[in-house]
């Protein structure tokens, strides 16, 4: 028995490797999260919520190294006027970042916000904690406890340009943990962009509190380093007549688990979450979404599209929970994969749980190969097999990309996807 | 222009011979029509010529201006100047009609070593041609053939033909699903493309399309062979007496 005692659990091994930033307004929330984490323990292979995705590489104390990949392209969002905040392997890079002042918003860094920001203290770890039920998300609790930095964004108006979190990856062994909190006041509107591979292993949590009639737009491009691993969580709470729109594009990456937990708490609110991913070879991509309707006449929409080949794996777990009294709910969920060969696989678990009697919810999940009839039609008009495949692949992804509201961003993402596909098939 | 010799084709999946020795010469500047009862192999001929999967050529040859078509990929056949107007144009969600056409035009130009068409030039040309075929801006913007009526789909085929300017056009049952007005519009589109350098092969079940697209030569196909060849009057004979008489005559 003495031997068993010496055996450290993976959770304790992970905790032992971290050091909690001391003092300051977030301390209590961090301690609370650590206690939560200890109670639930890190995810294990046998956990139902991790049935399709092996958590090992995300939960082991030492991250696996990931080679830095130089794609040689111009940075994404370069065509968009924006405020850049740069993190290199999780460490803030002041030189590369823009000045953080922008009208209609106040931006501070988690690591340096020493004065007690009441709104941030109230929010930090709060939505994450609420999102731990009915399903636990231990990697998010880990993040709340130990995140080394992040941004605290308080949106009071309508800033003139998007805020862009740029995540650069320069060290092969980096293990980064960032925690962002975003609060939108009533009527405020902001666009948050995230892009870059960030680190060999990257764990992020973003908590977004969207007040009545506020609008939050989120466009994220997960960096293209082939070996990177990432676990991300977005937690949001939506007030009356508010809007939340989140889109993620993922190309490459050995392991990605993106969780999005949405709670519609005010009437007439709308939440859209979408993802387009392109996986080739050693690629595992998991979108896990949990949307709770707890108000009247709200709309939610999930659109996930995955293109997989050479043994890539795509996972989708999406749940719509309609609580008692959440009448006139309009819930839509679609997850589809385009399997470009017989070696790739798509695992989907769509779920609806409805306790109100006047709702319209639909969900669908499909897996399929490229449409041979359409392929022949294009080729008969002179388009090469490769180009026709790309065109149909891009068309398949389009429904997800169309969830991006800003036309310029939509076009930029489409352009990138098109260029990536073209290069890959060249 | 198009030279088909002793073409034998069977279905790949099952051991079923569809074409049993087709011989056909379409000269530049001429319109040939192939008529025949259902199941005679007319559509198979169009698919084999354009390179669709699922067919195996067991004997014979097909060349376009001396170039062996059967060895080429579908896109290479298109670049060589072959065009098939589909009986059932395919709907492609997510791909804009305009994007599709521009991609096709430029792919063919590239394959032929020609310069690609600029976006502005392309727009100018397509607008003019679309107008002739009464294809509005909305149809150009919509995904390929999505939500198009039968007539719109066929007009869209002719628009593609007009944009791609092929040497040899095969029209597979282009009249199917069209009312008289739509058929006239399509026929006008085709007739506008009749030039000295271009050959046409019009596959049809009924004679009525040939009232609008006047053929130079009419072939009757049955059971995988061309059993009779004649002038436009042959189409009228079919119209008046059906296929039974001709089949009996050659039997």
Give A-chain residues touching B144 at CB under 8 angstroms: 377
Q: Do the Cβ atoms of A380 and B78 come within 8 Å?
A: yes
B15-57 confidence digits (pLDDT tens): 889 999 999 999 999 999 999 988 899 999 999 999 999 999 9
Q: Do the Cβ atoms of B50 and A391 come within 8 Å?
A: no
Cα-Cα-Cα-Cα torsion A78, A82, A88, A90, nearest 10 degrees, comes to -130
| pLDDT score at A187 | 97
A81-94 confidence digits (pLDDT tens): 999 999 999 999 99
φ, ψ dihedrals at A176, nearest 5°: -110, 145
Long-range contacts of B12-15 (CB under 8 A, 24+ apart): B12/B53, B12/B54, B12/B55, B12/B56, B13/B54
Lowest mean pLDDT among A69-73, A126-130, A241-245, B87-91: A69-73
Question: If residue A5 lies in a helix (H) or strand (E), which one and from where to where?
Answer: helix A2-6
Q: How far is A301 from chain B (nearest CA, A)?
A: 19
> Is the model more confident about B178 or about B229?
B229
Question: Computed from CA positions of residues A309, A310, A311, A312, in that sequence, does the dihedral angle turn out positive or negative?
Answer: negative
Give A-chain residues touching B160 at CB under 8 angstroms: 381
Cβ of A11: how many Cβ atoms within 10 Å?
20
Distance of alpha carbon A424 from alpha carbon A128, whole angstroms: 38
Q: Do the Cβ atoms of A377 and B89 come within 8 Å?
A: yes
> Is the model more confident about B101 or about B240?
B101
Tell me whether residue A243 is in a domain.
yes
Query: Which is nearest to B135 in space by CA: B118, B157, B120, B115?
Result: B157
Distance of alpha carbon B3 from alpha carbon A302, whole angstroms: 54
Confirm if B47 and B55 have CB atoms less than 8 A apart.
yes
Of B79, B90, B107, the CB nearest to A377: B90
Q: Do the Cβ atoms of A380 and B51 come within 8 Å?
A: yes
Of A374, A376, A381, the CB nearest to B52: A376
| pLDDT score at A15 | 96
Distance of alpha carbon B121 from alpha carbon A367, whole angstroms: 40
B119-169 confidence digits (pLDDT tens): 899 999 999 999 888 888 889 999 999 999 888 999 999 999 999 999 999
Q: Do the Cβ atoms of B53 and A372 come within 8 Å?
A: yes
Average pLDDT over residues B225-232: 93
Note the ipTM here. Answer: 0.95
Average pLDDT, chain A: 94
| pLDDT score at A333 | 97
Structure tokens at A95: 């030189």
| pLDDT score at A47 | 96
CA angle B12, B18, B19 (to 5 degrees): 115
Q: How far is B67 from chain A (nearest CA, A)?
A: 17
Question: If residue B31 lies in a helix (H) or strand (E), which one and from where to where?
Answer: strand B31-35
> Could you list the residue range(s) of the whole structural domain that residue A49 is in?
24-370
Task: Write the CB contacts of B118 (distance below 8 Å, at least 6 apart in sequence).
Answer: none
Average pLDDT, chain B: 92
Of B52, B53, B160, the CB nearest to A381: B160
DSSP string, B179-223: -HHHHHHHHHHHHHT--TT-EEEEEESSSHHHHHS--SEEEEEET
Chain A residue closest in CA terms to B48:
A380
Tell me whether residue A406 is in a domain.
no
Q: How far is B109 from chain A (nearest CA, A)?
A: 9
Lowest mean pLDDT among A61-65, A67-71, A144-148: A67-71
Q: Do the Cβ atoms of A382 and B93 come within 8 Å?
A: no
| pLDDT score at A2 | 46
Tokens 């989907």 belong to which residue? A348
Q: Do the bridges between strand A175-184 and strand A151-155 make them parallel or antiparallel, or are there none, so unpaired?
A: parallel
Q: How far is A313 from chain B (nearest CA, A)?
A: 24
pLDDT at B240 over 90: no
pLDDT at B2 over 60: yes
| pLDDT score at B206 | 83
Tell me whether residue A66 is in a domain.
yes
pLDDT band at residue B244 using 50, 70 and 90 as cut-offs: confident
Cα A192 to Cα A165, A195, A217, distances in angstroms:
8, 10, 6
Give A-chain residues touching B50 at CB under 8 angstroms: 380
Size of interface A-B (CB pairs under 8 A): 78
Tell me whether residue A381 is in a domain.
no
- Give residue A341's region: left, alpha or beta (phi > 0; psi -120 to 50): beta
Helix, strand, coil tally for chain A in percent (to 5): 25, 40, 40
Task: Write the CB contacts of A415 (distance below 8 Å, at least 6 apart in sequence).
Answer: none
Give CATH for domain B2-94+167-249.
3.40.50.300
The residues that bridge with A292 in the sheet, in sequence order, are A263, A321
Distance of alpha carbon B115 from alpha carbon B107, whole angstroms: 10
Domain-by-domain residue ranges, chain B? 2-94+167-249
Chain A residue closest in CA terms to B47:
A380
Give the count of domains, chain A.
Answer: 1
Chain A residue closest in CA terms to B108:
A382
A195-228 confidence digits (pLDDT tens): 999 999 999 999 999 999 999 999 999 988 999 9
Q: Do the Cβ atoms of B104 and A373 come within 8 Å?
A: no
Tell me whether residue A12 is in a domain.
no
Distance of alpha carbon A193 from alpha carbon B193, whole angstroms: 51
Q: Do the Cβ atoms of B103 and A391 come within 8 Å?
A: yes
Confirm if A217 and A192 have CB atoms less than 8 A apart.
yes
| pLDDT score at A425 | 61
| pLDDT score at B75 | 96
pLDDT at A296 over 90: yes
| pLDDT score at B14 | 87
pLDDT band at residue A1 using 50, 70 and 90 as cut-offs: very low
């Amino acid at each position: 028995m003495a031997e068993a005692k010496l055996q450290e659990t993976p959770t304790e091994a992970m905790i032992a490797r971290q050091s909690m930033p001391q003092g300051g307004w977030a301390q209590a929330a961090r301690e609370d999260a650590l206690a939560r984490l200890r109670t639930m323990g890190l995810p294990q292979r046998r956990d139902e919520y991790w049935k399709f995705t092996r958590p090992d590489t995300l939960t082991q104390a030492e991250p696996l190294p990931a080679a830095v990949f130089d794609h040689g392209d111009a940075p994404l969002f370069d065509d968009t006027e924006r405020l850049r905040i740069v993190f290199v392997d999780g460490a803030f890079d002041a030189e590369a970042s823009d000045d953080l002042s922008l009208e209609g918003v106040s931006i501070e860094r988690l690591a340096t916000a020493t004065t007690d920001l009441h709104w941030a203290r109230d929010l930090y770890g709060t939505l994450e904690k609420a999102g731990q039920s009915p399903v636990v998300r231990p990697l998010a609790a880990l993040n709340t406890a130990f995140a080394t930095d992040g941004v605290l964004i308080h949106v009071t108006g309508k800033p003139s340009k998007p805020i862009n979190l740029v995540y650069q990856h320069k060290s092969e062994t980096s293990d980064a943990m960032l925690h962002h909190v975003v609060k939108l006041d009533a009527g405020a509107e902001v666009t948050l962009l995230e892009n870059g591979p960030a680190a060999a292993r990257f764990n992020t949590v973003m908590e977004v509190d969207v007040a009545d009639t506020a609008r939050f737009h989120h466009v994220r491009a997960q960096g293209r380093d082939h070996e990177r691993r990432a676990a991300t969580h977005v937690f949001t709470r939506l007030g009356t007549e508010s809007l939340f729109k989140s889109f993620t594009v993922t190309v490459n990456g050995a392991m990605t688990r993106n969780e999005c937990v949405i709670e519609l708490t005010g009437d007439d609110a709308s939440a859209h979450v979408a993802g387009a991913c392109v996986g080739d070879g050693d690629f595992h991509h998991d979108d896990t979404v949990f949307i709770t309707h707890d108000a009247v006449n709200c709309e939610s929409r999930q659109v996930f599209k995955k293109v997989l080949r050479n043994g890539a794996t795509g996972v989708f777990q999406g749940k719509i929970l309609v609580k008692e009294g959440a009448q006139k709910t309009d819930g839509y969920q679609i997850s589809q994969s385009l399997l470009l060969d017989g070696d790739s696989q798509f695992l989907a678990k769509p779920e609806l749980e409805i306790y109100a009697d006047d709702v319209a919810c639909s969900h669908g999940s499909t897996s399929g190969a490229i449409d041979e009839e359409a392929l022949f039609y294009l080729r008969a008009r002179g388009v090469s097999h490769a180009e026709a495949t790309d065109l149909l692949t891009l068309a398949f992804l389009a429904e997800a990309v169309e969830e991006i509201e800003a036309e310029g961003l939509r076009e930029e993402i489409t352009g990138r996807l098109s260029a990536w596909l073209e290069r890959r098939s060249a | 222009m198009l030279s088909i010799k002793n073409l034998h084709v069977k279905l790949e999946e099952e051991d079923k011979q569809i074409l049993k020795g087709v011989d056909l010469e379409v000269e530049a500047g001429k319109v040939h029509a192939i008529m025949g009862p259902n199941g005679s192999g007319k559509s198979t001929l169009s698919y084999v010529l354009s390179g669709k999967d699922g067919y195996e050529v067991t004997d014979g040859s097909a060349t376009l201006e001396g170039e062996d078509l059967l060895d080429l990929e579908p896109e290479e056949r298109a670049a060589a100047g072959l065009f098939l107007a589909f009986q059932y144009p395919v709907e492609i969600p997510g791909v804009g009609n305009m994007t599709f056409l521009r991609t096709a035009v430029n792919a063919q130009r590239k394959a032929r070593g020609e310069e690609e068409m600029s976006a502005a030039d392309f727009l100018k040309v397509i607008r003019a041609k679309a107008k002739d075929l009464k294809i509005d801006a909305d149809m150009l913007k919509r995904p390929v053939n999505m939500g198009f009526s039968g007539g719109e789909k066929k007009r869209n085929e002719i628009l593609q033909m007009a944009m791609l300017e092929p040497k040899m056009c095969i029209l597979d049952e282009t009249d199917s699903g069209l009312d008289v007005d739509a058929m006239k519009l399509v026929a006008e589109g085709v007739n506008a493309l009749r030039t000295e350098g271009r050959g046409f092969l019009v596959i049809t079940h009924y004679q009525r399309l040939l009232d609008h697209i006047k053929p130079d030569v009419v072939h009757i196909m049955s059971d995988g062979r061309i059993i009779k060849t004649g002038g436009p009057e042959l189409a009228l004979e079919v119209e008046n007496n059906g296929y039974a008489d001709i089949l009996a005559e050659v039997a």
